[in-house]
Amino acid sequence: MWVTNAKIVGIVLGTLALYTLIANKIPQVQSEVPQALTLGANVTPEQLVAAGEKVFNGIGGCPTCHGLGTRAPNLLTDEKGTGPIGVRCAKREPGKSCKQYLYESLDNPTAYVVSGYQPIMPVMTKQLSPEQVWSVIAFLESQGGTVDVTADDIAKSKPAAGAPTPGASSGSTGGAFAGGSTDPKTPTRRPSSRPPGASPATSSTGRAR
Ligand code: HEC
């Protein structure tokens, strides 16, 4: 009797061992979880551009409006003879460099509204981290222009240590896209008429600054 039992135990253990062996031979497949972007102090322009392209097409949701050429200006191709965004960015506002103009477009989109379009662009600095914002700027500059974004730019627009970073958490920040809404009517923009320093309590945007 105990011989039969021993045989059964042996077969069970043998089978387990075999499958464990097979399981360990199979290469581990890792699912791509979107990660908070971390760029070091010596990040290269190429790394910024590569990261920016992912933000542009991914979490930034830019092609939703900018991919059609009707709702928003083309960013990857020529726009009505003014050239790609990396070229025309320096010519939009007198006295503003390409980098300054692009940052303004993402931080305060209503400050300069491209003629022929509605001011529907969401405030991207509210829903993207400084890393994501600056890498997307580098990506836009690379469209026909010179990439001059550095790690310094990222460091300068980082909130004080301890403050929550938008875009770093998974969707609890309530940004237009983080909240799942792509409706341009969602009031995500800060009224441009509000003087700087006015109480945020009176703002309907909930932007606490
Ligand atoms: C809800 C639609 C919408 C989304 C989403 C959107 N934009 Fe825009 N964007 C616009 C519109 C409309 C304009 C033109 C009017 C204006 O200047 O505000 C514009 C203008 C711009 C400009 C200025 C273009 C020029 O020719 O001077 C830049 C740069 C820009 N967007 C970048 C982005 C980036 C980068 C993203 C993604 C992170 C993005 N936008 C997402 C609607 C959108």
How confident is the model at residue 171, as a pLDDT?
Answer: 43
- Which of the 8 DSSP states describes residue 115? T
Residue 100 has pLDDT above 90, yes or no: yes
Average pLDDT over residues 47-65: 95
- Domains of the chain by residue range: 36-157
Residue 150 has pLDDT above 90, yes or no: yes
Q: Write down the architecture of domain 36-157 according to CATH.
A: Orthogonal Bundle (1.10)
| CA-closest candidate to residue 107, choices 85, 137, 83 | 137
How confident is the model at residue 191, as a pLDDT?
Answer: 53
Nearest residue (CA) to ligand 1, atom 5: 62
Residue whose tokens read 């039992």: 5
Residue 115 has pLDDT above 80, yes or no: yes
Structure confidence by residue, pLDDT tens digits, 10-55 = 888 888 888 888 888 776 665 555 556 788 889 999 999 999 999 9
How confident is the model at residue 107, as a pLDDT?
Answer: 97
Task: Report the sign of the C-alpha dihedral through residues 47, 42, 137, 88, in that order.
Answer: negative
| CA-closest candidate to residue 194, choices 205, 180, 183 | 205
The CA angle 47-52-56, to the nearest 5 degrees, is 160
Q: How many Å separate Cα 130 from the centre of its chain?
A: 9
| pTM, rounded to two decimals | 0.68
Distance from the alpha carbon of residue 102 to the mean position of ligand 1, in angstroms: 10
How confident is the model at residue 188, as a pLDDT?
Answer: 53
Question: Rounded to an integer, what distance in angstroms lies between the CA atom of residue 107 and that of residue 104?
Answer: 5
From the CB of 65, is ligand 1 less than 6 Å away? Answer: yes
Mutate to test the pocket of ligand 1, among 121, 124, 133, 139 (most ligand atoms within 8 A of CB): 121
